[in-house]
């Protein structure tokens, strides 16, 4: 009898009732403020998984038409509600940190991106904006060598890995010599491990998850560029006009020639026709503009995170402080009144 009652109670928890039981309570959502950066990373990944599954379930509901699809509809509702709950939890996390509050004040940056960026960026390991750009995959001098190229480079230096050799390897690969040494030195012998250095050079030199979040931020700035109150959207539009004009003037002829040399485009492709004229195709220009606006946003986010953590203004980007550029764009909505 007891078993029969349990079965009946479970059967009663269907549809909205079961979804309600599975949803996060308000207290659990608020508890997200206390989660670690690693745990928030997990929730961000989970959010995008739920979002993808919700979209797939929604497509199934649409294509089913009048066919029996009650279970698929229930699945769609479940993913949608859980997606909303995780998003709310990430909102509470972002609101609990000053950099998160600033990010949320930016048109185009929602709770998931705000929380994800904060969780992925360790300001103690990226003391300069250049280090952050590199970590996010926005340093053009940083290349992913892979195992083959890493082994090829190491074969050029068969002798002892002295400091001078390490500096030369770092220069050739666009890495930091001191960081290579710290990561690969044997604490017992004080010598750099050749195997460890080869493995390190072969690794991707940026955080793939952070790079994806930055790409999503760029897409969001593009989509919100016409919305009232958008800060980075109008700058994106201005930059695109600038890049298109420079392209028409032939300013990127050298880059176009380099691309043609390094990549193989069919002569009947649209891209080849542009590069052959010494110009960049529209897709290339678009990518340049999106990278530019994301790097600007990252420089502002870095400054906010740096000041929040160290209690003093962040050092200006190298190109501003040393390179002589005067076109520094001030951080919008900063300082922000914290509700932390």
The verdict on 32 and 154 lying in the same domain is no
The verdict on 246 and 315 lying in the same domain is yes
**In the chain, how many domains are there?**
3
Average pLDDT score over residue span 93-108: 96
Distance CA 138, CA 144 (A): 12
Segment 234-238 long-range contacts (CB within 8 Å, at least 24 positions apart)? 235/293, 235/296, 235/329, 236/289, 236/290, 236/293
Cis before 282 (ω within 30): no
User: 126: pLDDT confidence band, cut at 50, 70 and 90?
Assistant: very high
- Please check whether residue 68 lies inside any domain of the structure: yes
- Please check whether residue 327 lies inside any domain of the structure: no
pLDDT greater at residue 79 or residue 327: 79
Q: How many residues in total does the chain contain?
A: 340
- Please check whether residue 44 lies inside any domain of the structure: yes
Beta bridge partners of 192: 185
Single residue among 159, 183, 202 that ends a domain in this structure: 202
How much is the pLDDT for 71? 81
Q: Is residue 60 within 8 Å of residue 119, measured between CB atoms?
A: no
| DSSP states of 54-75 | HHHHHHHHHHHTTS--HHHHHH
- Please check whether residue 58 lies inside any domain of the structure: yes
C-alpha dist (Å) from residue 301 to 121, 195, 286, 296: 10, 37, 23, 9
Distance CA 74, CA 138 (A): 42
- Please check whether residue 329 lies inside any domain of the structure: no
The verdict on 133 and 256 lying in the same domain is yes
The verdict on 175 and 219 lying in the same domain is no
The domain containing residue 64 runs over which residues?
2-95
User: 119: pLDDT confidence band, cut at 50, 70 and 90?
Assistant: very high
Beta bridge partners of 185: 192
The verdict on 174 and 241 lying in the same domain is no
Average pLDDT score over residue span 24-53: 86
| DSSP states of 188-241 | TT-PBPHHHHHHHHHS-SS-HHHHHHHHHHHHHHHHTTTSTT-SHHHHHHHHHH
The verdict on 317 and 212 lying in the same domain is yes
Phi/psi of residue 192, each to 5°?
-80, 130
User: 1: pLDDT confidence band, cut at 50, 70 and 90?
Assistant: very low
**pTM here?**
0.84
- Please check whether residue 308 lies inside any domain of the structure: yes
Which tens digit of pLDDT belongs to each residue from 229-262? 999 999 999 999 999 999 999 999 999 999 999 8
User: 13: pLDDT confidence band, cut at 50, 70 and 90?
Assistant: very low
How much is the pLDDT for 324? 40
- Please check whether residue 330 lies inside any domain of the structure: no
The verdict on 163 and 220 lying in the same domain is no
Q: Of 46, 37, 127, 135, which is closest to residue 82 (Cα–Cα)?
A: 46
Rounded mean pLDDT of the chain? 87
How much is the pLDDT for 68? 61
The verdict on 241 and 133 lying in the same domain is yes
Among 59-73, 118-132, 305-319, the range scoring the smallest mean pLDDT is 59-73
The verdict on 133 and 265 lying in the same domain is yes
Q: Of 306, 301, 307, which is closest to residue 124 (Cα–Cα)?
A: 306
Phi/psi of residue 99, each to 5°?
-60, -35
Distance CA 294, CA 247 (A): 20
- Please check whether residue 167 lies inside any domain of the structure: yes
Which tens digit of pLDDT belongs to each residue from 183-239? 999 888 889 999 999 999 999 999 999 999 999 999 999 999 989 999 999 999 999
The verdict on 284 and 173 lying in the same domain is no
Q: What percent of the chain has pLDDT over 70?
A: 86
pLDDT of 339 over the 90 cut: no
The verdict on 179 and 215 lying in the same domain is no
The verdict on 221 and 162 lying in the same domain is no
Q: How many CB atoms lie within 10 A of CB 104?
A: 18
How much is the pLDDT for 9? 43
| DSSP states of 300-331 | HHHHHHHHHHHSSPPPPPHHHHTT----PPPP
Average pLDDT score over residue span 88-104: 96
Which tens digit of pLDDT belongs to each residue from 170-180? 999 888 888 89
Single residue among 202, 226, 248 that ends a domain in this structure: 202
């Amino acid at each position: 009898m007891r078993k029969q009652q349990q079965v009946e109670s479970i059967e009663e928890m269907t549809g909205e009732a079961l979804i309600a039981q599975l949803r996060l309570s308000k207290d659990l959502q608020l508890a997200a403020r206390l989660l670690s950066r690693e745990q928030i990373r997990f929730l961000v990944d989970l959010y995008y998984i739920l979002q993808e599954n919700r979209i797939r379930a929604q497509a199934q509901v649409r294509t089913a038409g009048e066919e029996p699809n009650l279970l698929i509809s229930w699945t769609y509702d479940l993913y949608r509600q859980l997606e909303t709950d995780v998003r709310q939890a990430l909102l509470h996390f972002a609101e609990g940190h000053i950099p998160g509050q600033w990010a949320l004040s930016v048109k185009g940056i929602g709770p998931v991106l705000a929380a994800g960026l904060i969780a992925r960026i360790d300001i103690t390991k990226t003391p300069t904006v250049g280090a952050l750009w590199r970590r996010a995959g926005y340093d053009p001098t940083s290349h992913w060598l892979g195992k083959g190229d890493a082994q090829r480079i190491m074969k050029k230096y068969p002798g002892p890995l002295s400091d001078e050799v390490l500096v030369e390897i770092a220069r050739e690969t666009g890495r930091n010599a001191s960081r290579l040494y710290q990561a690969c030195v044997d604490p017992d012998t004080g010598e750099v491990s050749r195997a460890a250095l080869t493995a390190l050079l072969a690794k991707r030199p940026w955080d793939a998850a952070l790079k994806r979040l930055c790409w999503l931020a760029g897409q969001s700035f593009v989509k919100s560029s016409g919305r009232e109150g958008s800060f980075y959207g109008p700058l994106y539009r201005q930059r695109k006009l600038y890049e298109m004009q420079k392209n028409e003037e032939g300013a990127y002829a050298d880059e176009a020639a380099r691309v043609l040399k390094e990549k193989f485009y069919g002569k009947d492709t649209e891209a080849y026709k542009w590069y052959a004229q010494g110009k960049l195709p529209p897709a290339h220009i678009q990518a340049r503009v999106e990278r530019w606006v994301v790097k600007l946003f990252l420089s502002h986010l870095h400054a906010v995170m740096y000041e929040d953590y160290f209690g003093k203004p962040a050092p200006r980007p190298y190109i501003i402080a040393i390179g002589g550029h005067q076109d520094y764009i001030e951080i919008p909505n900063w300082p922000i009144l914290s509700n932390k």
